[in-house]
């Protein structure tokens, strides 16, 4: 464990050095990242101003969409396709003989890219926040913000393990790109990245509130934007922790079975 952490630290440093060459690209990527939330924000504000009777107010909508870009970036994972390729092409073998966990390279890549993206994204979010400062919900206590970051971290772990799970199918299937694409499309709606889950129709409530994707993006943002009561917060946190543990265990079992089934190409 301790050695893994030390290796991880070194790999992150190396990745940061490598990726910072493309700093211009990160700025442009983050610009693209906040386009969609801003378009949605403007649309829903217009609807509200035009007399639409939404179950949430303008402050909720504004805070939600301003923070959304940050939450989707912080909890994103893009490794499923890459990991599946490594499995299919036998590149996994060179990782297996190293004295550290197989997946540590992917963890390092994930963390270092997010670290660099922060520098581009935070000023942009700050600017949008400033523009809409009059209708932002800012929780008084530091507690909500602390919870925001804790649940973001848990959400990031959840997304990452879902990705491991999907990539692990490559041990048995030739092409998982359709699975990856399905995950992205389903996730974008159910995680609240397209429309706030609070605006989903009443009949879908029970399902929407307890499906795992809510805990990848929407839940952390709801903590800041909304007025979740104390008990709702606790249940949410419990459900999120439950999903992290459950998906984590599942991913571990599937991954272990996959490694046993793995027959390195070219060996």
Partner 1 sequence: MRYLRLWRRFFAQAVVRETHYRAHFLTTLLVGLVQLGLGIVPTLLLFGFTEEVHGWSRAEVIALVGVYQVITGLMATFIAPNLNRMTSYLTEGELDAVLLRPVSSQFYLTFRWINVAELSNVASGIIVLAFGLVQSGLTPSIGQVLQSIVLATCGLVLLTAVWSAMVYLAFWLQSVGPIGVVYLNLVEAGRYPLTFFPVPVRSFLTFVFPVAFATTYPVQALSGSLGWGSVALGIGLSAIAVLLIRLLWQRGLRTYASASS
Interface positions with partner 1 (CB under 8 A): 22, 24-25, 28-29, 31-33, 35-36, 39-40, 42-44, 46-47, 50-54, 178, 181, 185, 188-189, 194-195, 199-201
43 or 246: CB nearest partner 1 = 43
DSSP label of 79 = -
128 or 154: CB nearest partner 1 = 128
Ramachandran region of residue 192, left (φ > 0), alpha (ψ -120 to 50) or beta?
A: left
Closest CA to 64 of 79, 43, 90, 83: 43
200 or 259: CB nearest partner 1 = 200
In the complex, minimum distance from the CB of residue 185 to partner 1, in angstroms, rounded to a whole number: 6
13 or 194: CB nearest partner 1 = 194
**Cα gap 148→146, rounded to integer Å:** 5
In the complex, minimum distance from the CB of residue 97 to partner 1, in angstroms, rounded to a whole number: 33
In the complex, minimum distance from the CB of residue 93 to partner 1, in angstroms, rounded to a whole number: 29
**Cα gap 199→201, rounded to integer Å:** 6
Q: CA dihedral defined by 212, 213, 214, 218, rounded to 10 degrees?
A: 150
In the complex, minimum distance from the CB of residue 229 to partner 1, in angstroms, rounded to a whole number: 24
CB contact burial 124-161 (16+ within 10 A = b; e otherwise):
bbeebbeebeeebbebeeeeeeebbeebbebbbbbbbb
37 or 258: CB nearest partner 1 = 37
Ramachandran region of residue 90, left (φ > 0), alpha (ψ -120 to 50) or beta?
A: left
107 or 199: CB nearest partner 1 = 199
In the complex, minimum distance from the CB of residue 36 to partner 1, in angstroms, rounded to a whole number: 6
Cα atoms found within 13 Å of the Cα of residue 247, Cβ hemisphere only: 25
In the complex, minimum distance from the CB of residue 34 to partner 1, in angstroms, rounded to a whole number: 9
């Amino acid at each position: 464990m301790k050695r893994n952490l030390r290796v991880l630290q070194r790999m992150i440093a190396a990745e940061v050095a490598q990726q910072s060459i493309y700093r211009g690209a990160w700025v442009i990527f983050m610009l693209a990242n906040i386009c969609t939330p801003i378009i949605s924000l403007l649309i829903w504000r217009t609807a509200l101003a035009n007399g639409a009777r939404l179950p949430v107010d303008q402050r909720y909508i504004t805070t939600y969409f301003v923070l959304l870009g940050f939450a989707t970036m912080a909890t994103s994972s893009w490794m499923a396709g890459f990991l599946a390729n490594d499995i299919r092409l036998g590149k996994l073998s060179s990782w297996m003989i190293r004295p550290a966990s197989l997946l540590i390279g992917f963890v390092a890549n994930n963390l270092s890219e997010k670290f660099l993206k922060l520098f581009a994204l935070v000023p942009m979010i700050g600017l949008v926040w400033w523009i809409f400062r009059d209708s932002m919900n800012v929780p008084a206590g530091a507690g909500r913000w602390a919870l925001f970051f804790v649940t973001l971290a848990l959400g990031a772990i959840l997304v990452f393990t879902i990705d491991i799970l999907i990539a692990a199918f490559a041990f048995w299937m030739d092409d998982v790109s359709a699975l990856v694409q399905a995950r992205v499309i389903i996730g974008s709606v159910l995680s609240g990245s397209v429309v706030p889950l609070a605006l989903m129709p009443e009949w879908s409530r029970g399902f929407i509130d307890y499906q795992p994707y809510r805990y990848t993006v929407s839940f952390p943002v709801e903590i800041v934007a909304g007025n979740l009561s104390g008990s709702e917060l606790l249940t949410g946190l419990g459900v999120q922790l439950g999903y992290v543990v459950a998906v984590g265990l599942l991913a571990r079992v599937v991954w272990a079975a996959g490694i046993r089934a793995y027959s390195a190409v070219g060996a």
